[in-house]
Amino acid sequence: NVSVGFYLNGIHKPGDVMLGGLFEVHYTSIFPELTFTSEPSKLSWFRHAMTMAFAIDEINRNSNLLPNVTLGYSLYDNCATLVIGFSAALSLVSGREEQFLLLENCSGTSPVLGIVGDSFSTFSIATSDVIGLFNLPIVSYFATCSCLSDRHRFPSFFRTIPSDAFQVHAMIQILKHFGWTWAGLLISDDDYGHHAAQSFQTELVQSGGGCLAYTEILPWGENTAELWRIVQMMKKSTARVVIVFAHQITMIQLMEEVVRQNVTGLQWMASEAWTTAAVLQTPHLMPYLGGTLGIAIRRGEIPGLRDFLLRTHPDLYDNNNHGNSMVRMFWEHTFQCRFPPPPAGWVESGGAICTGEEVLESVETEFLDVSNLRPEYNIYKAVYALAYALDDMLQCTPGRGPFSGNSCTTLQTMDSSLDFPCHNIHLLIHLTPFVVESFLSLQPPRSVCSESCPPGTRMARKNGQPVCCFDCVLCSEGKFSNKPDSVECTSCPEDFASSPQRDHCVPKKIEFLSYHEPLGICLTSTSLLGTFICAVVLGIFIHHRSTPVVRANNSELSFLILMSLKLCFLCSLLFIGRPRLWTCQMRHAAFGISFVLCVSCILVKTMVVLAVFKASKPGGGASLKWFGAVQQRGTVLLLTCIQAAICVVWIVSASPLPHKNTQYHSDKIVYECVVGSTVGFAVLLGYIGLLAILSFLLAFLARNLPDNFNEAKLITFSMLIFCAVWVAFVPAYVNSPGKYADAVEVFAILASSFGLLVALFGPKCYIILLRPERNTKKAIMGRATSKS
């Protein structure tokens, strides 16, 4: 046997490939011997190690995952001590541990190809700094320090628990939700606490969600004086919310002092490290911790775990009483017995001897409680992440592998090089978010340094105090604040004065065509109704597009007219509401282009009617070549582009602008759009009028054509309505002040649009829907023959 240098508490099982595990089963070890003779921290934490053993056992029984490969494990207790955890990690990497009896061929346990652990962020940092040099993947199930997300420093570190950045963000959201702007922060004296505090303070400042009344570092070990000082400060502080990023061990020591000083009425917020700690959820501590809000790890289900735990027995893991001491110590603690040889005086004092015949199911033990698996679920996922990564590597195709030259590896070469494909784990670990839990539902307290400043005041920061501590000062004359906690008072605009309460300005009455007044509501409703009717008619025409009535009336132009009419109805909405620069610029442009598109389609349709009638006569067929589909589309596009060019020149040269008009009334401010250029507006309307008159004249000339071309009558009537509306519009618009000018223009748009819609499409819809017997080619041609 080799000489003994130090002992490591562990469980081992041989296999083709070994995985390592680092778990906290005991609180501390005794120095300098570095043994593990201490009280077990919690039986549930021994369950953490057994969960990894269960996962490996389950994988070995799965023929689809790592076939023909048996996983083994070496699981060590870190005793919540850095030097023990670090020594255990080095033993896992080197494959050597001096306490084990070597086999006959002088080969020790195989080096592991991956490690699940450690549970502490500080331990994980120290271990990863060294183990990372071997490119050995470490998958932690409980280390949440955001610093471990640094891929340059920790390229082979992974975890199945979210970074502290997530729970810091969640805590700040909770503070905002309850309006807690004044809180204290307690942290453990390690990387976990310091980095969490840094992240919390940074995000708290960025979010503007509040201030910290104090930040205190909780001491390690028995430091009663420091704990007394911290609790005294908590009692004196006005902050009622206390946020704690600390480990369960530290919280136990803190709560002992809190109970000793009888500090109640605090709202605690717990980090994931102690949220679900059963030792803190006792009736003794409820008066102090009742109502605690905590960020908890996601709970998971692991089928079959309890049955596996029930099979735990020292004989199953015995290796000459050396290699699997963790199970033996668990057994002794559970049944309060000792394996032979017992310590001196044990039997004499009435102590029992462990026989191995004890039955786990006969005792009440937290070890068998699988109803709240949180870290265990992360351990379970970590083992499977390593297993799937190994399986993926062993199934790689030569030339497409993850190693140099895109090569692959085998168990033999991998065993010696420790060159595990860490990048595979990226795709296999699924980080689930933290769920928020509460010990008890109570009325949330208020926690502010200064009460909120009401509207009409501003916050004046107290000298030497955080920004959350301030006085409320009434706004001066001519200024106001209409929100709570205003930093500054805002000057009222011209023609405004502050109210006596300084919470708003009292302006002159503002007038514009609003969506909220009856006139605006009526016009808006009418506009939307017209749009809806256009959509319905368009749907009817599309559905009956193959019928003679639709086809005989140039369906493509009809569809285009309906679309343009929808735009005409919708553009009227730009005239309603408070005028702004873009609405002022768009309202006349949208109106002009939409109507030109509609009227140009009607003009082309009229010209096509005349051309078709002329072509029906002997020798008139040549006229149709100028009115094909391409020529029709081109004509409509050309006529519309001319109007678009007019609008562009108008907007660029003298753009319409919103204007505050105080000339109409002395007690009102009228918001309106000035046209900018009267010439531009006149040219826009004149161009529409020119096309409308031209359409009217051509339709009038074609009004007596046979019935199969009688759309000219509808066009004549529609253009008559259109021209009448806009002739009446000009004097009404000129003589209407303020919002009524906009109302007149909207009315003219809606009236002319409805006139075109009803005159052009009403008779057709009547035939399509109510007189389908007339919607036939024979009926149409019959009427044409009769007319002729």
547: how many CB neighbours lie within 10 A of its CB?
A: 18
Distances (CA, A) of 672 to 105, 202, 656: 98, 48, 10
Beta-strand pair 112-116/17-23: parallel
H or E segment and range at residue 73: strand 71-77
User: Quick one: pLDDT at residue 101?
Assistant: 39
Q: What is the DSSP letter of 487?
A: S
Between helix 581-615 and helix 711-734 the angle, nearest 10°, is 150
Maximum C-alpha span of the chain: 134
DSSP string, 541-596: HHHTTTSHHHHHT-HHHHHHHHHHHHHHHHHGGGGSSS--HHHHHHHHHHHHHHHH
Give the closest residue to 431 by CA, choosing from 207, 149, 203.
149
pLDDT band at 5 (very low <50, low <70, confident <90, very high): very low
- Contact status, residue 23 vs residue 141, Cβ threshold 8 Å: no
Q: Residues 175-184: pLDDT tens digits?
A: 998 889 999 9
**Is pLDDT at 587 greater than 50 in this prediction?**
yes
Weakest-pLDDT range from 58-67, 189-198, 434-443: 434-443
**Is pLDDT at 619 greater than 70 in this prediction?**
no
State the alpha helices, DSSP H only, in 372-418. 375-394, 411-417
321: how many CB neighbours lie within 10 A of its CB?
A: 11
Weakest-pLDDT range from 59-68, 232-241, 716-725: 716-725
Distance of CA 283 to the CA centre of its chain: 38
**Is pLDDT at 29 greater than 70 in this prediction?**
no
| Average pLDDT of the residues in 66-83 | 88
Task: Answer with the residue of higher pLDDT: 106 or 367.
Answer: 367
- Contact status, residue 21 vs residue 115, Cβ threshold 8 Å: yes
Give the closest residue to 531 by CA, choosing from 576, 570, 579, 482.
570
Q: Residues 35-66: pLDDT tens digits?
A: 444 455 556 678 999 999 999 999 999 999 99
Mean per-residue pLDDT over the chain, rounded: 82
pLDDT band at 395 (very low <50, low <70, confident <90, very high): confident
What are the backbone angles phi and psi of residue 635, rounded to the nearest 5°? -65, -45
User: Quick one: pLDDT at residue 105?
Assistant: 44
Identity of the residue numbered 526? T
Give the up-direction half-sphere exposure of residue 11: CA atoms within 13 A in the CB hemisphere: 28
**Alpha-carbon gap, residue 23 to 16, rounded angstroms:** 23
pLDDT band at 420 (very low <50, low <70, confident <90, very high): very low
**Is pLDDT at 785 greater than 50 in this prediction?**
no
pLDDT band at 95 (very low <50, low <70, confident <90, very high): low
What are the backbone angles phi and psi of residue 714, rounded to the nearest 5°? -65, -40
pLDDT band at 498 (very low <50, low <70, confident <90, very high): confident
| Average pLDDT of the residues in 392-415 | 77
Classified as helix, coil or strand, 670 is strand
Distance of CA 446 to the CA centre of its chain: 29
| Average pLDDT of the residues in 410-418 | 56
Query: pTM (2 decimals)?
Result: 0.57
- Contact status, residue 124 vs residue 35, Cβ threshold 8 Å: no
User: Quick one: pLDDT at residue 72?
Assistant: 92
Q: Residue with structure tokens 């061929």?
A: 105
Q: Residue with structure tokens 């840094």?
A: 198
Task: Answer with the residue of higher pLDDT: 89 or 95.
Answer: 89
Q: Residue with structure tokens 């020591």?
A: 253
Identity of the residue numbered 326? M
User: Quick one: pLDDT at residue 434?
Assistant: 42
Weakest-pLDDT range from 140-144, 303-307, 771-775: 771-775
**Is pLDDT at 31 greater than 50 in this prediction?**
no
| Average pLDDT of the residues in 345-362 | 83
- Contact status, residue 23 vs residue 48, Cβ threshold 8 Å: yes
**Is pLDDT at 780 greater than 70 in this prediction?**
no
Distance of CA 665 to the CA centre of its chain: 51
Between helix 191-207 and helix 164-178 the angle, nearest 10°, is 50
Q: What is the DSSP letter of 296?
A: E
- Residue-wise burial string across 602-638, b where 16 or more C-beta atoms lie within 10 A, e elsewhere: bbbbbbbbbbbbeebeeeeeeeeeebeeebbeebbee
Distance of CA 633 to the CA centre of its chain: 47
User: Quick one: pLDDT at residue 786?
Assistant: 45
Weakest-pLDDT range from 241-255, 383-397, 436-450, 709-723: 436-450
**Is pLDDT at 10 greater than 60 in this prediction?**
yes
**Alpha-carbon gap, residue 380 to 390, rounded angstroms:** 16
Classified as helix, coil or strand, 627 is helix
**Alpha-carbon gap, residue 355 to 212, rounded angstroms:** 57
User: Quick one: pLDDT at residue 438?
Assistant: 47
pLDDT band at 282 (very low <50, low <70, confident <90, very high): confident
State the alpha helices, DSSP H only, in 17-163. 43-60, 82-94, 121-131
Secondary structure of 182-209 in HEC code, one letter for each residue: EEEEEEECCHHHHHHHHHHHHHHHHHCC
| Average pLDDT of the residues in 165-170 | 90
**Is pLDDT at 604 greater than 50 in this prediction?**
yes
Q: 32: cis peptide before it, omega within 30°?
A: yes
Rg from Cα positions in the chain? 42
Q: Which residues, 6+ apart, have CB-to-CB distance to 92 below 8 Å?
A: 20, 22, 74, 76, 111, 112, 115
User: Quick one: pLDDT at residue 622?
Assistant: 57
Q: What is the DSSP letter of 144?
A: -
What are the backbone angles phi and psi of residue 537, rounded to the nearest 5°? -60, -40
**Is pLDDT at 570 greater than 80 in this prediction?**
yes
| Average pLDDT of the residues in 379-402 | 88
H or E segment and range at residue 269: strand 267-270
Q: 118: cis peptide before it, omega within 30°?
A: yes
Task: Answer with the residue of higher pLDDT: 403 or 245.
Answer: 245
| Average pLDDT of the residues in 124-130 | 88
- Contact status, residue 281 vs residue 303, Cβ threshold 8 Å: no
Beta-strand pair 668-674/337-338: unpaired
**Is pLDDT at 218 greater than 90 in this prediction?**
yes
Task: Return the structure tokens found at 80.
Answer: 């919540």
**Is pLDDT at 653 greater than 60 in this prediction?**
yes
**Alpha-carbon gap, residue 378 to 373, rounded angstroms:** 9
**Is pLDDT at 21 greater than 90 in this prediction?**
yes
Give the closest residue to 680 by CA, choosing from 651, 659, 657.
651
**Alpha-carbon gap, residue 583 to 590, rounded angstroms:** 10
pLDDT band at 489 (very low <50, low <70, confident <90, very high): very high
| Average pLDDT of the residues in 189-214 | 90
| Average pLDDT of the residues in 682-691 | 89
**Is pLDDT at 423 greater than 60 in this prediction?**
no
**Is pLDDT at 724 greater than 90 in this prediction?**
no
User: Quick one: pLDDT at residue 687?
Assistant: 92
